[in-house]
Structure 1
Amino acid sequence: MENILIAGATGATGKRVIEILNNSESFNPLALIRKEEQRQQFEDMDVEAVMGDLEGDVSHTMKGIDKVIFAAGSGGGTSEEKTIAVDQEGAKKLIDAAKNSNVQKFVMLSAMAADEPSKNEDLKHYLEAKKEADDYLRASGLNYTIVRPGALTDDLGLAKVEVAEGSLGKRGEISRDDVAFLLVMSLADPLVKNMTFEAIEGQQSIKEALLDLTTKA
């Protein structure tokens, strides 16, 4: 069973990732937390918590970790400074820690259109931070997958998506449930290895969509 560290475990998408992994026979989730009072919610689920602040030191967080899911985010509505600290520099710190510990794979939750921040003035600083983190991961030498979903919703996941490597060429929505499943399924090698893809709700099952992406690469 592989040990998976989840950054952003207390967030809406991260919690869903934890639940999926916790019901898996292949993966053992470990939740990255920055406050001691966050530990109990995971202990109640029989999930181990690891203390580490993305705005501080995370070099110690990779002990025994096989793979990482980065689902942390300050959100598009936070200050530019906070976004840079968490989404950009926090991600870089965790990537460095993963590389230094020879982690097998790093799965990054990014954002649609992160390669073109200037085209969305409202989210420009957020997308710039995501792009910087994505580029850093791609250059790190780690095995990676970068998932770039459309607008996130809290709708019930239907496990049906539309995906494309690079850009889909259109906008759309996708449930956090389905994004969580995309992140978890991206852990499996050689599925979508060293690939960046966008995703919105669609008609193809998540498994088939990722298999198709992998075989086309």
Structure 2
Amino acid sequence: MTTLVIGANGQIGKQFCELAQQAGTPVKAMIRSEGQAAWFNERGIESVVADLEGEFEHAFEGCDQAVFTAGSGPHTGPDKTLMIDLFGAIRAADVASQKGLSRYIMVSAMRAENPLEAPEKLRPYMAAKFAADAHLRRSDIPHVILKPGRLTDEIASRQFASSMDEAGDNQISRANVAHALLHVVQTSSIINQEYTLLDGKRSIEEIVQ
């Protein structure tokens, strides 16, 4: 079962692709340009050039499921938020559905269900995530929505929590998100579920059981 990784060149995407390769879990990294291919080639990871703001349907060929971990990034404007985090995510889910993929796994955000509760500068991003998640829930493709808290660059602890009450904070390392993604990708029985992800003291198996 090959997984298309949309946003593979991002910080979570790269870590996930490397973990999957090491685990023998087939992935195809969707990247924006040939210039991004070297990192993946060096690690023996298949890649395909496709653009979320253009044509990307060909990237799904030969894939059974898709992971969406793309993001416009903190230094772009609302235009990129609309085209990537909202419209790109919706289009990708629709293509995955049309092509009959088994699952679409969305990396969303913990505050996405209540955008007005996010810091003001993050509200457009959270609103985009809110709408993309809502579209996915209404679609006919089996899906999983992962909702990490504030992302950090700490090393992986592989220990998780599913609420702020449990965690005592609102953060999670990108490395832990990558490990959670790997578990979900490898566990085909997880469908139509949503999980908040924070750093904590439980295994990912306990969180998603």
User: Which TM-score tier does this pair reach, normalised by the shorter chain?
Assistant: over 0.9
Residues paired across the two proteins, number: 206
Distance 1:41 1:183 in 2: 20
Tell me how large the CA RMSD over aligned residues is. 1.7
Moved over 6 A (4+): 167-170
Write out aligned runs for 1:98-177 (5 A).
Answer: 98-120=96-118, 121-163=120-162, 171-177=169-175
CA distance in structure 2 between the partners assigned to 1:73 and 1:168 by the alignment: 27
Which structure features the higher share of helix residues? 2
Query: Alpha-carbon deviations, 1:184-213, whole Å to 9, x = none?
Result: 21221213x2111211111111122211xx
Q: Give the whole-Å Cα distance in 1 for the aligned partners of 2:167 and 2:196.
A: 9
Aligned equivalent of 1:195, options 190, 193, 196:
193
1:154: Cα distance to partner? 0.7
The alpha carbon displacement at 1:122 in A equals: 2.2
Tell me what 1:13 maps to.
12
Structure 2 residue runs without a partner (length 5+): none
Per-residue deviation, 1:93: 1.5
C-alpha distance after superposition, 1:125-159 (max 9, x if no partner): 00001111111111111111100101111101111
Gaps of 5+ in 1: 212-217
- Cα displacement (A) at 1:76: 3.8
State the SS of the aligned residue for 2:60.
coil
Looking at structure 1, the residues matched to 116 and 50 of structure 2 have their Cα atoms a distance apart, in angstroms, of 32
Match of 1:53 in 2: 51
Is 2:27 the counterpart of 1:29? yes
**TM-score, length of structure 2 as denominator length:** 0.93
What TM-score does the superposition give when structure 1 sets the normalisation length?
0.90
- Deviation at residue 117 of structure 1 after TM alignment: 0.6
Partners of 1:135 and 1:76 in 2: CA distance: 23
Q: Which residue of 2 aligns with 1:214?
A: none
